[in-house]
Structure 1
């Protein structure tokens, strides 16, 4: 089954609705900075508003995601997206409002639609036959990469060419359009609460903590690659302006990696695949820290992007293994929050280290933290897998394309960076 087989009316409608919901999320942090940058201390205020937005997302994704129910997913997703559309519009209309009000609206804009990503991903799996899930998820990942590559340029053009609040109004309009578009899609997906074996949703989500921790560990590498890159280029004597094109190459690499991962089956169990790919990304980040050549830095980012996509794909498919279908959307939402938290923590660590150490040293310290966290998660995941195998065979998802699934790689990462 090829990617062309996915070009059906339901999947194309899903892509349109998903893009309309994701573009505002991708625009938000940079748009918040532009919204207030002309005020006194505007850049500092913009950073605070962006932080409020990300905190809202990290809190809202697990709280609202755990309440998503397959049989009424459309109504729940519509409510969250409608709340986000209202908050974005509220940020754009009274754009001269008090900072406290803007901060509250930014927090709501992040929290209200935070579970939509997990719900939309679970809905996508219901739109395609089992043998096409792999490529469908890879298609979702490529769509997300395109959105995240285009959103910053669109935000900057609107804010500078039209008005500082124009990106917020566009974001509100797009998210409102995604609410209407939900009625082009099924109302939910098939799932039976009995698949939980009597366990609560919270307990089932907690059992998957090694998967979330490995997802957070992979995002620490992305944080290092993005946040420390400008300072690293200065250390190497390279113009800081090259950071933008280099990160575009990283994003393109992730899109290519998602495409390749869905083309064919790959050897090894999913947890092993994730660890091998994570080791490859770690090596690429080490190249950034140790290689003096700008060409080596560019190559490290490009290859690292390709491998990072595979890490995200394998992590989410592992999540599909360990969680029953009725709580899968909640699991995707918790994963989203965990990788965002991992990115934010690493960003804070890198910022502190840059005050007292060279950028290359900060990267090496971050790599050490990643290896430590990944090691703890890998040991715990192996024990969980072995315990499940002793009680019965572990069910590996089988598809014509092979074992793969998708996240939205770098989504929260870019928001925190902006």
Structure 2
């Protein structure tokens, strides 16, 4: 019966693989890859549950409870960093569960998946750090050639240099320094490990947040501003944000005949001739959006003010607080913008415009640093505890050595 069920699940999955792209082509927002991923996940979960039911056990309820807990927390409030931790806990528990199930069933599909996972993990263990360093140096060269040598564009280079220095120092310090001094200098790798986990959780929830599927029932689309070229021209990154809003505007117009208003949000910087929102409005008009469908917010200086001042304008235009709104920005900025919307008590999720791949590593590092600074007190406390623990270990080792 197990073989028959495997064949049936396989056939159902293949049918879905062919049907989903055709089904999504009829939709305004196609996004068929997202639904393919959901379909694969659903079929795999059903298959795994069937395998265990054959064994008359129900351990699948353990990872399922972690998944349900994550989904509950995520859909209750998507704009929370801790959701990344909850999802990664589900992944750890889920992988552990699949490993146990593999040992108990020796299922061919699980063996193949375990083999692929094992090869990937082995490669990461052997060359992962060196591959990361090579990628960071390559990316730094590409970014500097295309974007210039500003500090914001040097983050991958600085990270690569820092990791290189750390590896060299760590290699020689273990051979030269006494044990107690090595423990003292162990503060740095432990702090690096802590921030690696924080970054991984941030990256996880940032990626998950990209899959927002807002309904075509919005009253407003906020477009977050950024700097202008020569103080008056919309740059490509900002243009992508506006075009993403226009795409949703047109999609909702076609789907419901009830288009939202586009709210351009951005004030005038010290080096700009006009407010960002004015330049953004002109850009949208040139793309075919009627002027009466565009609102402007001209006073904000940062993303938090974007959200606060836009909220005031929407409440005034709508005549209350019962409106539906989303915001558009570049995909790397999406989650942090959502945090600012939450801080402004604005119930709005975002949709992200695509960004060139070479630009993403620097951009995500910049976003991560900004988010760390938003919670700097928490991170200072954790780093302080790590340092205190390692200092105590080093002192204990020092006194043990001197009193032998």
Q: TM-score if structure 2 supplies the norm length? A: 0.26
Higher relative contact order (CA 8 A, sep 6+): 1
Structure having the higher strand fraction is: 2
Q: TM-score if structure 1 supplies the norm length? A: 0.25
Question: Which has the higher Rg, Structure 1 or Structure 2?
Answer: 2
